[in-house]
Amino acid sequence: MTAFDPSSDGAQMSFAKDMSYIDYLALDPILGAQNRQSDAHDEMLFIIQHQTSELWMRLALHELSVARDELARGNFPPVFKMLTRVARIFEQLNNAWDVLRTMTPSEYTAFREALGKSSGFQSHQYRLIEFILGNRNTAMLKVHEHRPELHLMLTQELGRKSMYHVALDQLAAQLGLTFDPAVYRLDQPHQADEAVMAAWTRVYQAPEQHWSLYELAEKLVDMEDYFRRWRFNHVTTVERIIGFKRGTGGTSGVKYLRKMLEVELFPELWNLRGQL
C-alpha cells in the first residue's frame, strides 16, 4: 500500500498562522515540566503519575465547585451529572495505581532521597477536594504557608458551606425542617447528627416521595465509595513500596494513611443503612 497523504483528504497541514493542537493544549509547558531530580529511570513514571493525578483533580475541583453552586440553587439534574463525573474521575485515579505498582521498592529507593521533604501531603488540590466535600481540618493549612495564595484559597474554602452542608440545606428545605446550627460548623469535619440521620432515613424509607433527595444521597455515597477506594489503593501501594518507613512529609507513613481510612465524609448516609 502506498503512503496516504491526508492533505488530499482536506487535512489542514500548515499552522504558521492558525492555532494548532500544541498551542490549544499548551503542550510546551506541560511536556516540558517533567523535571527529574535524579538519573533513575522510574522517576519519570513517578512524576507523570502525580502530574496526571493533579490534572484529574483539577477537573474534579472544577466539577465540584459548580456542582455545589447548582445544588445551593436546588438545580438537581446538572448536580447529578457532575457528581457522576467526579466519581468516574476517582475511578480513573484508582485504575492509575496499576501503572505505579509496576515500580518495585528498589526502583523507588533509587530516587526517593531526591524527593527531599516533598510529599503528596502537600497537595493543595487534594486538600481542597477534601475541604469542599466536608473533611475540614485547619491543622492541614500550615504546610501551605510558604505559598500565600494557596493558603488563602484553602482558608477561604473553610469559610464556605461544604458540599454536604449544601445537601443538608436541600434536605431540610424539602422536608420542612431546620437542623441545629452546630451541624454547619465550617472549619471541622462534619460530625454525625441524629436529626440529620432521621431526615435521611425518611428519604430512604419512601424514595418514591423524595426521589431527587434519594438520588442525591446515592450520588454522594457513590462518590465517597470511590474516594475511599483511592485512599485504600494509596495505602496499599505505599506499604508495598516503602513498608513502614516514615513519609518524606514527616508523618508515620502507612500508620498515618491507615488512620485516614477512618474518615467518613457523609456519616449519616452510611449509618442509616443499618436501620432500614
Ligand X SMILES: N[C@@H](CC(=O)c1ccccc1NC=O)C(=O)O
Q: Does 110 bind ligand HEM (CB under 6 A)?
A: no
Q: Which does 71 bind (CB under 5 to 8 A by kind): ligand HEM, ligand X, none?
A: none
Quick one: which segment of 11-19, 199-207, 216-224, 237-245 binds ligand HEM (CB under 6 A)?
A: 237-245
Q: Looking at beta carbons only, is 247 or 267 nearer to ligand X?
A: 247
Q: Does 212 bind ligand HEM (CB under 6 A)?
A: no
At 186, the amino acid letter reads L
d(CA 235, CA 38): 25
* Least Å from the CB of residue 196 to ligand HEM: 25
Cα-Cα-Cα-Cα dihedral of 261, 91, 268, 199, to 10°? 170
Q: Which does 115 bind (CB under 5 to 8 A by kind): ligand X, ligand HEM, none?
A: ligand X
Q: Which does 256 bind (CB under 5 to 8 A by kind): ligand X, ligand HEM, none?
A: ligand HEM
User: Number of C-alpha atoms within 13 angstroms, CB side, residue 235?
Assistant: 16
Q: Does 119 bind ligand X (CB under 6 A)?
A: yes
User: Residue 234, annotated ligand binder?
Assistant: yes
What would the grid cell of residue 170 be?
A: 436541600
By CB under 6 A, name the binding residues for ligand HEM.
Answer: 49-50, 53, 100, 108, 119-121, 123, 126, 234, 237-238, 241-242, 247-251, 253, 256-257, 260
